[in-house]
Amino acid sequence: MKKIALFAITAFTAVSISAEAQKSNKKSMKKVLFVVTSNDKLGNTGEKTGFWSEEFAAPYYELLDQGVEITIASPLGGQPPIDPKSADPASATEDTKRFDADKVLQEKLKNTLKLSTVNQKDYDAVFYPGGHGPLWDLVEDKSSIALIESFYTHKKPVAFVCHAPAVLKNVKVNGEYLVKGKKVTGFTNSEEEAVGLTKVVPFLLEDALSSNGAIFSKGENWQPYAVADGLLITGQNPASSKLVAAKLLQELK
């Protein structure tokens, strides 16, 4: 009987320690909010847009595989639009193939949170994938503007890739544009010209951020290039997505 009792106590203690360890791990797990566009219209062209799948998938898996918990939000909530051009097999990468086959993530995307309902206090950082979609909704979205300001003023990283740095256009901290005097990058004028959309987009990202006082730098067209200036992390184009995620992970650690 004594042996049975001792075994039971030992087993109970082990289970208790395991439960506490799991609780501790959950508390220490970093949480990142992904914010994607709800806009599917490419200006007045009659064509579709949305978020660019590689710019979502590459950082998503880079963070997920390091144990980061990811929540997704969008201005309207629910299923966000994916730019159909980014779903073209010609644009496929290992990450986008994984994305296409990931039924758990597809279900998660169908149920994105409404942006106005999220609070920075529940997360350790925020990340915005690009695609042309954000130029027409997130740039002017008051919830997005307030959220970025809140993350930044609470000393939490804010990260953006490709067209997503455009959402910084109207973000101010203490009355000054957040990007003023900061090193940033994003989809360049020459890259926009190369895709033939300089007359379609509402503004050119490079010009807008530079006008707001940003120190804008860039690499070669379509080549990986990312810049971190303190809590502000930006990447130039789809190829820069993993670089942005790596810099975000460094900041989270």
User: Span 166-194, mean pLDDT?
Assistant: 98
pLDDT of residue 91: 83
pLDDT class of 235 with cuts at 50, 70, 90: very high
Q: How many CB atoms lie within 10 A of CB 10?
A: 10
pLDDT band with cut points at 50, 70 and 90 for residue 17: very low
pTM assigned to the model? 0.90
DSSP E strands: which ranges in 36-166? 69-74, 113-114, 125-128, 158-161
pLDDT value, residue 4: 53
Considering the chain, what is the average pLDDT of its residues?
A: 92
How much of the chain, in percent, has pLDDT values that exceed 90?
A: 87
Q: What is the β-pairing status of strands 113-114 and 125-128?
A: unpaired
- Tokens representing 40 are 């599917």
The C-alpha atoms of residue 241 and residue 115 are separated, in whole angstroms, by 22
- Residue-level pLDDT at 226: 98
User: Average pLDDT in the 191-206 region?
Assistant: 98
pLDDT at 28: 77
Q: How far is CA 124 from CA 20, 80, 115, in A?
A: 22, 23, 16
Parallel, antiparallel, or unpaired for β 215-216 and 226-229? unpaired
d(CA 218, CA 206): 10
- Residue 240 has a pLDDT of 98
End-to-end CA distance of the chain: 49
- Write down the pLDDT at residue 2: 52
pLDDT digits (tens, 9 = 90+) for 19-51: 454 444 455 799 999 999 999 999 999 999 999
Confidence of residue 136 (pLDDT cuts 50, 70, 90): very high
Q: β-pairing, 172-173 with 176-177?
A: antiparallel
Share of the chain above pLDDT 70, in %: 89
**φ, ψ dihedrals at 157, nearest 5°:** -65, 145
Give the confidence band of 141 by pLDDT, cuts at 50, 70, 90. very high
